[in-house]
Amino acid sequence: MPVLAAPDGAPVSVARALCASIAAQPDLARRQLEADRLLASEGAGHIVHDLPIRADGRSVSLESRPWRLDPIPFVVDGAEFSELTDRVIARMATLEAVLDDLYGERSLLARRIVDPHRLWSSQRYRVAAIGHRLGPRWLTSYAVDVVRSASGEWFVVKDFTDAPAGLGYTMLGRSVIGRVQREAIAHRPPGSSVRSISTFTDHVRDALADIAGTDSPRIVVLSGGVEHRSFVGQSYVATELGLNLADGADLVVRKRRLWLRSLGGLEPVDVLYRRLEDDRLDPMEVNTEGSRGIPGVLLAARSGGVRLANAHGCGVLQDPRLANMWDEAGEWVDARRPRTAGEQIPDVAPLRRLDTEERGAFVPDVVPGFDGTAVLDRPVVMRLQVVAGDRGVEVMQGGSARVLALGDDPGVPTSATAKDVWVVGGTVAPPRLVRRRPLPQVDLLTSVPTRAAEALYWSGRAMERAAFITRSLDVVLDRTSGVVDAPTAEPWVGTSIDMVATIAGTDMNTTTGTDERPAVLAVGDTLFALARQLGSLLAEVSSVREYFSTTAGRVFARLANSRATLKDIVEAGVERDVRGDPAGIDVDVLDAVLIDLASLEGLWSESIVRGPAWRFGEIGRRVERIFGVIDAVRGAFMGQHGSAWPFDHEDDPQLADYDRRRLVELILAVNESLVAYRRRHRSDVELSLAAHLVVADERNPRAAAAALRTIEHESGQLGWDDGARLARDGLATLSRGDYTDIEGIGDVLSELWGVCDRIARLVVSTHLITPVDPRPMGWRST
Amino acid sequence: MNSDRRRYRVVHRTDYHYGATMIDGYSVAHLLPRGTPSQVVHASRVASEPHGDEVDESTDAFGNHVLQLGIHQPHERLAVVAECEVDVRSQELPRRATSWERVAAHISGLRGALVADVLPFTASSRFVAVDEHRKLLADLAYLAFLPNRPIAEACAALSTLIFERFVFDPSFTEVSTPLDEVIASGRGVCQDFAHLAVGAARSLGLAARYVSGYIETDPPPGEPKVVGADASHAWCSVWIPDHGWLDIDPTNGIIAPDRHVTVGWGRDYADVAPVRGVVIGPSSTQELTVSVDVARV
C-alpha cells in the first residue's frame, strides 16, 4: 500500500491523501452545482416538499427536506474499513440475539439485565411480537451510524433496526458523486481503487428472498407513502431492486395472506420489505400510530401468510429511552450464545455505543468538506448499510455520511449536507457470489398497483391542464403586450381574459364586469391556478417516480422551480395589493413552463413503457385536452356562463368582426392550431372553420376528435369496452355537428362535454377506485 | 366448586352505525371470556351482522382470547353480539397480611419466570401514564396506602377512596381521558376509575392490571342495582406475592367482587377493548350503542 508523507514526515494514509487532493480541486463550486442539479433531478432536493393538493382534492403535506451532497467524499482506508465492517457484522448478530431473547425466552428480563419496567413502558416493545420468531431472522437489514474519534477509534451513535433508512439515498449519492468526481474514481493507482457498492442491491434482493420460505417469492416494497420523510429513498430503492413500490392502501389481507391490489386483481405477496416503522404497520394492533398501515398484516405474518423484513418488533432497539441498555444486554447474550461451527460472526472487540452523556465531551475526527464557498474541516457521522441472508452478512462497501455542524451532537446532525463514502485500497475480500435466487418474472408492465395507474391518470390531467393555462396566458399577454387593464384596451382583450379565467378554472371567482374585478387580478388568479396545477402534477409524479427517467426528473426539478417562482410573483403581488401585475410578470417563467411541459409530453410519449398504467395516463391527458378545448371556445365566445357572442355591435360591425377574429386567433393559438389553420385555409380566421379544426378535425392532433380517437384506442388496449364505446359515441357526435354558427357549435360542445364527463367519471369509478386509508371505528364511551 | 358458585349468562351487543357505506371493515374483539381461578367458562360465542367474511381466533401475550373479524362487503352498520355462560365464585383473599411496602420491594427485586407475568403491569402505558402523572397518582394512593398497611386492606381502602371521592358520570368522559383530567374533575366512568386505581397502585411500585368484564345486572332482592351494569365493566387487579391477583372494583367501592364476570385483562383499556377496529370508506359520523345483559341462571 503506497504511503505518502506529510510535510512533517508522518505517513499519510491513502484515504487522507485522496481526500486532500479532491479538496484541492479548483472547481469545487462548479462540482457542487452539478451535484445539486443531479440530486434535484432525482427529486431528492426540494421537489417533494410543499406540494399542496392532489388533483382529486386529497391533500398532501410534505416535509421540507432539502439536502445537499458535498462534492468531496468521505474517504476511508480499506484496512480500517474492513476491521470496522467485522465489528459491525458482530454487532448485528448481537442485536439479533437480543431481539430473539426480548420476544422469546426473555431471560434478559428474568435476570434483570434489561430493566423490565423500562422495557414495558416503551410502546416500541410490541406485545404482538412476543412469542416466537417468524421466519429465519429478526433483522434482515440493519444500518448503523458510527463516528470516529480524533484518536481514530470508532463508536456507534445509533442503531437502525426497524426500517433502516438511507439505502436509497446512499445509492443516489454514489450515482451523483460518481459523476461529479468521475476522473478521481477513474484514475486510481492499482490496488487503491474505490470499492464498488453496486452489488449490494443483489445481496438485498437475495436476503429478502431468503426469508420467504418459498421458492421464487414475490416481494413488494412497502413505502410510507409520499408524505413519508424518506419517500424519495424508498422509491429509489424499489426502482434499483426492480420491485413494486406499494403504499399501505395498495395492500390487503385476505385469508391470512397479503395481497397487492393491482390492475389485474389481487396478487399474492410473500415478502414485505417494509420501509414503514413497526408501530405504524397494522392499525389492528394495540398502540399503533396513524393509519397508514395494512389492517391484519400481523395476523397474516403470524399465520405464515407473509414474511416481514424486518420482523415486527425490531423497532424496540431504536427507542431512544432504551438505547443505553443494549450494549450490556449484548455482552450478556454474546457470552451465553453458543458459537456454532462455520458461523460467520467475526470474533472481534465489540463496537461500543457513545452514550448521550458522553457526547458532550467527545472529540470527533474531522475531514475536509466543501460548504459552498470554502473547504473546512468538519466531523462526520457515517451510516453503514448491512444485510443478512442465509449465506451470511454483507456490509455495503461504502455508505453515506452526514456532516456535523460545529457543536452538533453526533446523534442529532443539524446540517443538511451529506457525503458519499468511498473505501479505497486494502485487501478486498473476494466478492461473494450472489446466488441470484430465481424471483418470479413478475411482469412489472401488468403487475401495476392500482395507485400507480391512478397517479399517472391524474398526472396526465394536471400536465395537460397546466399546458392549457400556460399557453392561454402566454398568448394573451403576448398579444396585449401585457396591457390588459388599460381603459383604452380593445373590447376583445377583456374577453380574452375571461377565456383565460375559464381555462384556469378561476372564472367562478368573477363578478361580471371588469370594473369590479380588474383584469390584473384575473391574471394573478391564473398564475395561482397554474402553480396549483403544477403542484398537483409534481405530487402525483413524485408518488410514481419509478415510471420516469432521470431526464424527466430534471424536468420535474425545473417545474418545481418555476412553480416556486410563480408563487413568489403571486405573493409579491398580494403584498402590493395588485396580484400579478401583468406589467411585472416575468414572461420568461411562462416560457420556461411551456418548454418544460413540452419536454415532458415528449418524454411521456417516448420514454415510458406502454403498460396499462401509462394507458390510463394517456386517457387522463386526452380527457383533459377535450375539456381544455371546450373551455377555450366557450370562454372566448360564450361568456363564462354560456351566454351568447358578446360583440354583436350592429352599429359597428367592423369592430365586432375585428374582435371576433382576434379571439378566433387566440383559440387557435391556445390550442397550438394556428399553424395548422394557416396551412389549411387561405381565408382570414373564421369561427366556423376554426371551431371545426380544433373540435372535429381528426387530422389535427390537437383536436378534441383526435383525443377521442386516442381514448378509443387506449381503452381498447386495456380491454375497457365502455370507454371505447363512449369515445366512438363522441366521435359520431362531432361528425354530425353543425359548425356554421355559434349556436350549432355550442350544441356540439355541450354534447362533447357530456361524453367526456362520462368517460372521466367511469374511468375513475371502475378502474381507479382509490384505496382509502383505514379510519378507526368509534370508541365506546361508557 | 364451592357452594358460592353462581352461573351467569351474559349477552353483550355492540352496534356501529357508520352513517355511510363502508367498503371494508376489520375489527378486533375481546369478548370471549377466559378462565380464572374463580371463573369457569362453559360456553361462549360471538356472532356478527353482517357475518364476518373472515373470523380468526387467537390468544394474545396476556392469555386473552382475541377474535379478529373481517367484513369485506359494503356495509353501513355492524352488530357484534357476544354470549357466554360462566360459573363464578368469590375470589380468595390473601391469608398473610403482607404490608404493601414489602410487596413493592419484592416486585422491585423480582427475578425469574414471574417477571414475565408481573412486570408488564408495573409499567407506564398509554392510558395509565404513570411516568407522566406519578406525583398526582402517588398523592392519591398514599391516602389509602398508609405505612405498613396490609396490601389487601390498602387495596380495599383505595377502592373505597375512589368510590367516595369521584362521581360516576357517563356524560363526562371518553375512554381516553388522561388520568390528570380525571383527578382534576373528580368525575369519570368505570374505565377511568379502573385506570385510576391501576395507576395509583403502579405509582407505588405495585403491579396492577386492568380487567375488562361485566357485573350482574339485576341485584339480588333487597340489594341496590349496581353502577355500570348496562354496559361492559372494568376494574383493577393487584398482584400479591404467594397469593396471586386480588380484584377491586373502585366504581362500586368494593373489594372481592363476587358478581363480576371476567373477560380479559391487560395493561390498560387498549389491550382489552371489547371491540375496536378500522373501517375503509367515506368519512362520516359514526354512532355506537352498547347493551349488556347479565342474568343469573
pLDDT at A486: 64
Name the pTM for this structure.
0.83
Q: Determine the pLDDT at residue A61.
A: 41
Residues of A in contact with B113 (CB under 8 A): 110
Q: Which of A58-62, A675-679, B245-249, B280-284 has the lowest mean pLDDT?
A: A58-62
Q: Do A295 and B278 touch (CB under 8 A)?
A: yes
Q: Across residues A545-563, what is the average pLDDT?
A: 82
Residue A369 pLDDT exceeds 90: yes
Q: What mean pLDDT is reported for chain A?
A: 83
Residue A262 has pLDDT above 50, yes or no: yes
pLDDT surpasses 50 at A351? yes
Q: What is the pLDDT of residue A519?
A: 67
State yes or no: pLDDT of B122 exceeds 80.
yes
On the question of pLDDT at A273 being above 90, the answer is: yes
Contacting B residues, span 96-155, partner chain A, CB-CB under 8 Å: 111-113, 115-116, 119-120, 122-126, 131
What's the confidence (pLDDT) of residue A510? 44
State the Cα–Cα distance between residues B259 and B219, nearest whole angstrom.
9
What was the pLDDT predicted at A636? 85
pLDDT of A445 over the 70 cut: no
DSSP letters spanning A508-577: GG--SSTTTS-HHHHHHHHHHHHHHHHHHHHHHHHHTGGGS-HHHHHHHHHHHHHHHHHHHHHHHHHHTT
What secondary structure does DSSP assign to A460-482, as a single string? Answer: HHHHHHHHHHHHHHHHHHHHTTT
Provide the shortest C-alpha distance from residue A43 to chain B (in Å).
31
pLDDT tens string A395-412: 999 999 999 887 788 887
At B77 the pLDDT is 94
pLDDT band per the 50, 70, 90 thresholds, residue A181: very high
CB interface of A with B, residues 756-775, below 8 Å: 771-775
| pLDDT score of A58 | 40
Res. B163: pLDDT tops 60: yes
Phi, psi of A502 (to 5 degrees): -65, -45
In this complex, the residue of B112, B176, B277 whose CB is nearest that of residue A284 is B277
Residue A487 — pLDDT band, cuts 50, 70, 90?
low
* B47 bridge partner residues: B81
Q: Given pLDDT bands bounded at 50, 70 and 90, which one contains residue B229?
A: low
pLDDT of A582 over the 70 cut: no
- Spell out which residues of chain B touch residue A781, defining contact as CB-CB under 8 Å: 170, 173-175, 189, 288
What pLDDT is attached to residue A481? Answer: 73
**B residues 248-287 lying closer than 8 A (beta carbon) to A:** 266-267, 270-271, 273-283, 286-287
**What DSSP assignment string belongs to A521-540?**
HHHHHHHHHHHHHHHHHHHH
Looking at chain B, which runs of residues are DSSP E strands? 6-22, 24-29, 39-49, 54-59, 65-71, 75-88, 167-168, 187-188, 208-215, 233-240, 244-249, 254-255, 260-266, 275-280, 287-296
Distances (CA, A) of B224 to A567, A622, B227, B229: 70, 74, 9, 12
pLDDT, position A577: 45
ipTM above 0.85, yes or no: yes
Stretch among A18-22, A106-110, A442-446, A569-573 having the lowest mean pLDDT = A442-446
DSSP 8-state symbol, A626: H
Query: Do B273 and A772 lie within an 8 Å CB cutoff?
Result: no
In B21-80, the residues whose Cβ lies within 8 Å of chain A are 23-28, 54, 56, 58, 60-62, 68, 70, 72, 78
Q: Which residues in chain A touch residue B112, judged by CB atoms under 8 angstroms apart? A: 110
- pLDDT in the model for residue A45: 42
- Pick the range with the lowest mean pLDDT from A98-102, A189-193, A592-596: A189-193
Task: Determine what percent of chain A falls in helix, strand and coil, rounding each to the nearest 5.
Answer: 50, 15, 40
**Selection from A352, A416, A410, A424 nearest residue A380 by Cα:** A410
Q: Is the pLDDT of residue A649 over 60?
A: no
Q: Is A606 exposed, middle or buried (0-12, 13-18, 19+ CB in 10 A)?
A: exposed
What CA–CA distance (Å, rounded) separates B86 from B247? 18
Helix, strand, or coil (residue B43):
strand
Q: Closest partner residue to B278 among A110, A302, A775, by Cβ?
A: A775
Please identify which residue in the block is written with the cell numbers 368522559: B173
Highest mean pLDDT among A164-168, A516-520, B41-45 belongs to B41-45
Q: CB of A286 within 8 Å of any CB in chain B? A: yes
User: Which tens digits make up the pLDDT trace of B45-55?
Assistant: 999 999 999 99
3-state secondary structure of A274: strand
Rounded Cα gap, residues A200 and A170, in angstroms = 11
pLDDT for residue A355: 86
What is the pLDDT at residue B256? Answer: 62
Query: Does A778 sit within 8 Å of B288, measured CB to CB?
Result: yes
A585-609, pLDDT tens digit by residue?
667 889 999 999 999 999 998 888 7
Of A70-79, A152-161, B115-124, B210-219, the range with the lowest mean pLDDT is B210-219
DSSP, collapsed to helix, strand or coil, labels residue A18 as helix
The answer to whether A284 contacts B28, with C-beta atoms less than 8 Å apart, is: yes
Contact assignment for A780 to B271 by CB distance below 8 Å = no
Locate all alpha helices (DSSP H) within chain B, ordered by sequence: 100-108, 114-118, 130-142, 151-165, 179-185, 190-203, 269-272
The Cα A99–Cα A104 span in angstroms is 8
Whole-number percent of chain A with pLDDT over 90? 46
Grid coordinates of B36:
380464572
Please report the pLDDT score of residue A434 as a whole number.
Answer: 59
* Residue A243: predicted pLDDT: 86
Min CA distance, A266 vs chain B (Å)? 14
Mutant choice from B23, B28, B60, B272 vs A, greatest count of A C-beta within 10 A:
B28
Q: Report residue A700's pLDDT band, with 50, 70 and 90 as the boundaries.
A: very high
Contact A165, A144 (CB under 8 A): no
More confident residue, A289 or B8: B8
Residue pLDDT, tens place only, A208-244: 999 997 888 999 999 887 767 777 788 888 888 888 8
| pLDDT number for residue B245 | 95
pLDDT of residue B218: 67
Q: What is the pLDDT of residue A587?
A: 73
Is A703 within 8 Å of A697 (Cβ atoms)? yes
Lowest-pLDDT choice from A30-39, A371-380, A654-663, B68-77: A654-663
**Residue bearing the bigger pLDDT, A25 or B229:** A25
Question: Which grid coordinates are listed for B38?
Answer: 374463580
A302/B58 CB distance under 8 A: yes
